[in-house]
Amino acid sequence: MSDQPAEESSRPTNPHEIIAAETYRRSRGFWRILAFVALAIAVLAVAGRFALSNAPVGEHIARVVIDGTIATDPARLKLIEELAEDDSVKAVVVAINSPGGTTAGGEELYEALGQLRAKKPVVAVIKELGASAAYMAAIGTDQIFARRLSIVGSIGVLYQHINAGKLLDTIGVDLDKVASGPLKAEPDYDEPMAGEARASIGALVDDSFQWFVDIVAERRNLARPVALSLADGRIMSGRAGVETGLIDAVGGELEAQAWLEAERDVPKDLQIITAWPLESSGLGWIGTFLGGQARAALGLPANGAITLDGLVSLWQVGAAS
């Protein structure tokens, strides 16, 4: 019987086995260290985000980002109301990159920015796109800047209807309904928009449209016939927007900040801090940046397909305004 300890007898003696065992031991140690470092970084990142989000902020300019398709948003509305009451916020920059959205969403932003404007300076900066309901929001501010080649305008209201009657007849599908009145749920998907149904929708669109033209004329200091002539749904560049009076000047945030300093005595060295959208936990901002910004630049919804039910003031690539 051998007196060699069991531990020593279990050790590999083959050179290849010895090398493999040593490599495994080192690899295991490396991954343990890497896991520890990753955990430490994660803890520091969470602590840092918490500290930054709760760090006291002195006097500053708040940035409200309007990105992608616009709809009503109670959280955004509450944030704007809070900015109006926050004495540390000396001005607000509304950064717009949107094709528009629902008429109600545009109206909500227009009214909220108007109330904010009554308490402190508010400037709109249109990036790639500021059309339809997004332009409606922009005119709620004191001054509108856009890039020379930004897309602006598309003043108008839209109601879309799909008549799938022929398709349904082809595949043998018949729609039927019981309604409380002749205009309930009209027009239906299996018939054209005509008669009383079309007149009813037309009156709804016209009511919203006339209000849109009125506020454009009022806020842009245009005679109503001039505003009406620009409200045929056309889009235009930022440069053309300046010429027609829809935009105040060509520029971005730097020009907006210079205007705030010159016209509203806002100190030029104030930091611009994004107040909306609210900072989310985790690393979701990466997807938001890569997805939302690019899609909004093309006039597409920020988070995939979106169905807007009701009246919309929206400009879309490849579609009539």
DSSP bridge pairs for 67: 97
CA separation, residue 49 to residues 39, 79, 248, 257, 280 (Å): 15, 20, 38, 27, 10
Whether the per-residue pLDDT at 272 is higher than 90: the answer is yes
User: What confidence tens digit (pLDDT) does each residue in 164-178 have?
Assistant: 778 877 888 887 888
User: What confidence tens digit (pLDDT) does each residue in 67-85 have?
Assistant: 999 999 999 999 999 999 9
**Residues taking part in catalysis:** 132, 184
Give residue 195's pLDDT band: very low, low, confident or very high (50, 70, 90).
Answer: confident
Residue 132: enclosing H or E segment and its boundaries?
none
Q: What DSSP string describes 60-72?
A: EEEEEEEESSB--
Do residues 104 and 136 touch, judged by C-beta distance below 8 A? Answer: no
Give the C-alpha separation, 77 to 73, whole Å: 6
CB neighbourhood size of 162 (10 A): 9
Distance from the Cα of residue 300 to its chain's centroid: 10
Of 66-70, 167-171, 191-195, 317-321, which gets the smallest average pLDDT?
Answer: 317-321
Work out whether the CA dihedral 256, 257, 261, 262 comes out positive or negative. negative
Q: 174 is written with which tokens?
A: 């018949």
**pLDDT at 121 (0 to 100):** 98
The predicted model scores a pTM of: 0.73
Give the C-alpha separation, 252 to 145, whole Å: 6
Of 17-21, 99-103, 124-128, 233-237, which gets the smallest average pLDDT?
Answer: 17-21
Give residue 45's pLDDT band: very low, low, confident or very high (50, 70, 90).
Answer: low
DSSP bridge pairs for 146: 126, 250
Q: 176 is written with which tokens?
A: 């039927």
Q: 46 is written with which tokens?
A: 């969470």
**Higher-scoring residue by pLDDT: 182, 244:** 244
